[in-house]
Structure 1
């Protein structure tokens, strides 16, 4: 693991053997062009394929750390583990398919260095560049979920679910140590806690490409996300985030 890296990239993975090769090729080309230290953390969430073996084909053991969960624990659990075990001054969370190109990091870094606590990508701002859109039914479900989140939990953001988010490691540790949501609604919990703590959160428009191989199941995961949104509000009312 690099000593004192500037950047840690955390990528949660579940059965991503087929997509991870392309992602790591792009990450390697981008990150090796930088004049600062960096690391990538692949968090394998109980994959049944060879996801954990792919990174060694593209990155050295110093460049990439593979963390293996004891079974399928959830995306939120995996991101939390990766963030808390990262070593970078800044941490970037990215989806395994790079739906948001890694080059967008260059636009995030100046805001973090200027003192912004959290920077999140958005697919729904006027200047967002959605190159390939989701299917109409996924777009519809996303809009419904966003309205529910704005009503139940937090009303500050246009897009809470874009998988491209960054923060200073000290800020991330402060937030993720309190977090309890293990599945897809962890983004909402993180942003809720960030606003509750009075942190400065900036939402930036990003380029985004929908992946047809989405791991979000419309019915099952939407139900879990709704339950988790309610859990966030209940946890707050019961004082569990102190």
Structure 2
């Protein structure tokens, strides 16, 4: 069977109350736009009916698949697991709340088709596209965190945390095999790695509406993300990313060069065997 052109990854943890609506909107968008796509929901050890609901939808939707993590590992792990198992030429992930409407993915795809290796959605490049604003305290903490991230990580982007990003598959196979952060702080790390590898990154303004059911706690998760940033900088200063890049280039039989001199796999990569189970409709 030929690989799809697009892969859409949706990380999900205890999303039983909204996963049905999410699947309906995503699958409808795929069909309305005529996308040649697969949809992978990555269940991060949910203890509710999330996986059961996804399996039910799979019966009528052959493009839908379920990936199950070995327990609750975090959003970063879930995105990594899904994107490494994705087979599309363009792969992306979106949050389960669809704060950025699925239709906005066409803006990311256009940036990839125009030459970018990575396209990241931004809530802040064009604020007029925000349909439902965050409460003031969340905006304050979010902006502070983003400015700190830009300063510490050297990332020149208005929005590093938006859960709406797309990649050329070859780029994703390299970036996510180097990722080490498994929870909320993974976004700055993958952008840091992409820049280190010399991939072209495009920041794209997207429509976005705040969901009051957001699971991020700026006090608890914010402190963890700060720790993650310190870990990323430490890993970089100690040469761990350089060592991992050299090891990956040595063992993956890479043949397509990128700017950094590292190469990207040209054939579908084999997902890491301990990264969970891919379930397809029977």
Aligned-residue RMSD, C-alpha? 1.4
Question: 5+ residue gaps in structure 1?
Answer: none
- In the alignment of these two chains, the number of paired residues is 241
Superimposed CA distance per residue, residues 198-227 of structure 1 (whole angstroms, 9 cap, x where no aligned partner): 111111111001110011112110110000
Inter-partner Cα distance in structure 2 for 1:35 and 1:205: 23
1:42 and 1:66 in contact (8 A); partners too: yes
Inter-partner Cα distance in structure 2 for 1:151 and 1:127: 22
What's 1:56 paired with? Answer: 55
Moved over 6 A (4+): none
What's 1:93 paired with? Answer: 93
What's 1:71 paired with? Answer: 71
Distance 1:128 1:180, change over 3 A: farther
Q: What is the CA-CA distance between 1:36 and the residue it aligns to?
A: 4.1
Superimposed CA distance per residue, residues 50-80 of structure 1 (whole angstroms, 9 cap, x where no aligned partner): 1011223434463111111121101000100
3-state SS in 2 of match to 1:87:
coil
Q: What is the CA-CA distance between 1:192 and the residue it aligns to?
A: 0.6
When structure 1 is superposed on structure 2, of 147-156 and 72-81 the one drifting more is 147-156
Superimposed CA distance per residue, residues 1-35 of structure 1 (whole angstroms, 9 cap, x where no aligned partner): x6310110011111001111111111111101243
What's 2:264 paired with? Answer: none
Q: What is the CA-CA distance between 1:143 and the residue it aligns to?
A: 1.2
What's 1:171 paired with? Answer: 171
Larger radius of gyration: 2
What's 1:82 paired with? Answer: 82
3-state SS in 1 of match to 2:18:
helix
User: What's the TM-score, normalizing by structure 2?
Assistant: 0.82
| Match runs of 1:125-144 below 5 Å | 125-126=125-126, 129-144=129-144
3-state SS in 2 of match to 1:88:
coil
What's 1:20 paired with? Answer: 19
2:55 and 2:66 in contact (8 A); partners too: no
Inter-partner Cα distance in structure 2 for 1:199 and 1:127: 27
Distance 1:77 1:16, change over 3 A: same
The reply on whether 1:46 has 2:48 as its aligned counterpart is no
Question: 5+ residue gaps in structure 2?
Answer: 243-282
Q: What is the CA-CA distance between 1:114 and the residue it aligns to?
A: 2.4
1:128 and 1:206 in contact (8 A); partners too: no
3-state SS in 2 of match to 1:93:
strand
Q: What is the CA-CA distance between 1:231 and the residue it aligns to?
A: 0.6
What's 2:228 paired with? Answer: 228
1:129 and 1:206 in contact (8 A); partners too: yes
1:28 and 1:58 in contact (8 A); partners too: no
Inter-partner Cα distance in structure 1 for 2:221 and 2:240: 24
What's 2:162 paired with? Answer: 162
